[in-house]
Amino acid sequence: MSKNRKIPFGYCMKNGEITTAPNEAFAVGKIFDSYVSGKSLLEIAKEMQNGNIPYDPDDDRPWNKNMVKRILENEKYLGDESYPQIVSEKIFRSANERKKKTANNLCVVPEDMKSLRSLVVCKQCGKRLFRNQNGTWSCKAYRCSEYGYMVSDNTITSAVMNILNLAIADVSLLKVEGELSVYSPDGNISRQLNEINRLMDSADIEYDRIKTEIFRLAEMKYDCCKYDDVPQKTEYLKSILSHQKRINDFDNEILKKCVKRIIAYHNSMIEIEFINGVKLRNEVR
């Protein structure tokens, strides 16, 4: 089970007293400098991981942005009766002022971008992308940090409009095979039929039992019927887009009606998955 360090990163116990751990203390200073210079928590975590300095020697967990955040918030680095000073008050305050400002800014999202927040996902891990205050989108999953990519508002909206215009120009692109109801009997159905036939051929016919088994067969057949609403969704899409004029401005209403997911690749390719499961992609350079 993972746990937090008992002694903050940057310190160690020596001869019964808390003192600085040279390599870790140097890393703490680097973390504060990097953050004040504009790097994100995730970028710093990646640098620390590549630097081969574990956050906790007794725990093999990789660095993550929460570890970096805890370091930036820890006032013990300013020094007190128990802990030697590692960072100056000036850089500590600068880092935490930037963190506070960043946290406040994250809440500011343009109205036309709000509908995208629940739709845009990372191709690599499938998690929702995070919209940064500067209008870029990035994946915060640690295992996706190696791609180091960001897509902009303009990249996403332009690609979405291009793909929707492709579908408007040719609704046959949305065609997908499917049936409203599919009956796929299994081996239990055959065995039940054989059992009913055996009872019917018996010299002493048990009408009540046969009736019960017939009802059971009907129930089993019903369970083997699968309803597929893809054809209905496809017709719904066609009814909307076949009467739609070419889109020149980002349209939230069409987006909500037609799109299930917007998938962002690390090479800036954008793919739309429509509500009927059809996927169309467009690469924007």
- pLDDT tens-place string over residues 16-26: 899 999 999 99
- pLDDT tens-place string over residues 28-79: 999 999 999 999 999 999 999 998 889 988 888 899 999 999 999 999 999 9
- pLDDT tens-place string over residues 65-87: 999 999 999 999 999 989 999 99
CA distances in angstroms from 187 to 93, 184, 190, 211, 213, listed in the order given: 71, 10, 5, 21, 16
Residue, of 248 and 92, whose pLDDT is higher = 92
Q: What is the pLDDT of the chain when averaged over all its residues?
A: 85
69 phi and psi, to 5 degrees? Answer: -60, -40
- pLDDT tens-place string over residues 267-277: 888 999 999 99
Instruction: Record the pTM.
Output: 0.49
What is residue 9's DSSP assignment? T
C-alpha 100/C-alpha 4 separation (Å) is 23
- pLDDT tens-place string over residues 165-224: 999 999 999 987 655 556 678 888 888 888 888 888 888 888 888 888 898 888 888 787
Determine what percent of the chain is predicted with pLDDT higher than 90. 43
Contacts of residue 103, Cβ cutoff 8 Å, sequence gap at least 6: none
